[in-house]
Homo-oligomer: A and B are copies of this chain.
Amino acid sequence: MAEATCTAAVNIAVVKYWGKRDTSLILPTNSSLSVTLSQDHLRSLTSAQVIEGAASSQDRLWLNGVEEEIQQGGRTERCLSEMRALRKQIEDKDSSLPKLSTSPVHIASENNFPTAAGLASSASGLSALIATLSSLYALEANGISVSDLSRIARQGSGSACRSMFGGFVVWEMGQKADGSDSVAVQVAPREHWPTMQALILVVSDHKKGTSSTSGMQRTVATSELLQHRIKHVVPARMARMEKAIQAKDFDAFALETMTDSNQFHAVCLDTEPPIFYMNDVSKAIIALTVEINRISKQTENRLKVAYTFDAGPNAVLYAEEEDVKDVLEIVLRYFPQARGFEDPFGLKPVAKDTLPEGFNDKVIPVFENGSVSRIIHTEVGDGPRVLSKGESLLGADGLPKSLKA
């Protein structure tokens, strides 16, 4: 029985993707760059099985144990059909291979982080799907490159293409109308800069924000500033960001990261009607970060931390390993955690009592428990991982094991 199980990671952009030039193929209006985070802490796990001569004659999908309809013409269906087409080419060349491309598949996928955390799971989910199907169909073994696969992941969920690689990854916007050159490329593997760590500050929000899919197209339609960003700002920033990563220059990396996050939210605000993703807690996290950097600039002539915000109020803070505990303890002072904070790196951080000399302790008020509802400490990670058969989510009957539990 042909079966495969893979995991894939979340990625957090430091040069943001916002705007499609082709909404069906998911072709972006600008290139973007992200850091793939570790699958040890946040990951999607996906299993796929080819159902041969089975009772079931159609593809089936379970997300977090709940069956979902695979919509005709939808993104999952598009990914499946693109992956089957690649398998078909290989089968056509080598008639000894099993004819998997014509059989239905069953797919089960789970995230190890709650959707309620407000973390976008589509990037890790879709890249885990593509990695799993690639493994199932032996595509990489037959010469299909990861960038080729990223082209298909992109059609499932734009930024998913970047999770097809570990480390530091560019999504080249490409120029062609068919999207064949709109693919992910690795700038540097995680081993190049393994000390890059991240703190995800999950910010509670009572209201549902604008979905990124509809939000970005409203920006494309109405923001004059977006056009300037696309044409004049991003190309130069991409070059500077790649250089900063190659040189492991944290100051340059941090400055570009923060400036790009600000500009992304600026074009959201320049949308009609305006889109707001950051709330007052998000803004307080920025003010705290600015103060941490002001002091470290003064005393050590360097930056210690970079903030970035995606299409929601959560903050992601990037920092070098040696600075994370310090940053974390200042964060814990202002954003107390009701249940404490268990650090997976064994840092044992405690809310900072004594702030650095000159630090303006009134920069933001001490917030209520729960304003930051959860903190996740992770680091730069690798690309999709192939797991052993024993870790499959699907049983021998082709159904999720969880259904019987």
Contacts and interface: CB of A to CB of B under 8 A. Distances in A.
Contact of A279 (B222, B266, B280, B364): B280
A232 B269 CA distance: 18
Interface string A176-218: 0000000000000000000000000000001100000000000
A385 interface: no
Q: Is the interface of A mostly helix, strand, loop or mixed?
A: helix
Contact of A365 (B206, B259, B271, B273): B206
A20 to B, nearest CB: 20
Contacts of A271: 262
Protomer copies: 2
B258 A262 contact: no
A229 interface: yes
Interface in A115-134: none
Contact of A272 (B206, B262, B273, B279): B262
A286 B273 contact: yes
A225 interface: yes
Contact of A263 (B255, B265, B270, B280): B270
Interface size on A, as a range, is 20 to 34
Interface in A264-300: 265-267, 269-274, 276, 279-280, 283, 286, 290
Interface in A57-77: none
A348 interface: no
A271 B255 CA distance: 12
A221 interface: no
A228 interface: yes
Nearest to A365: B206
Contact of A259 (B206, B267, B272, B286): B272
Nearest to A226: B225
Interface in A4-50: none
A233 interface: yes
A364 B255 CA distance: 35
A308 B133 CA distance: 51
Nearest to A294: B273
Given A224-B233, A280-B279, A265 B258 contact: no
A78 to B, nearest CB: 33
Contact of A224 (B222, B228, B276): B228
Contact of A228 (B228, B269, B273): B228
B225 A266 contact: yes
A290 B224 CA distance: 20
Interface pairs A-B: 6 shortest CB-CB: A228-B228, A266-B270, A266-B266, A266-B269, A273-B290, A262-B274
19 contacts: A206-B365, A207-B364, A225-B229, A225-B263, A225-B266, A225-B267, A225-B270, A228-B228, A228-B232, A258-B272, A258-B273, A259-B272, A262-B274, A263-B269, A266-B267, A266-B270, A269-B269, A274-B286, A280-B280
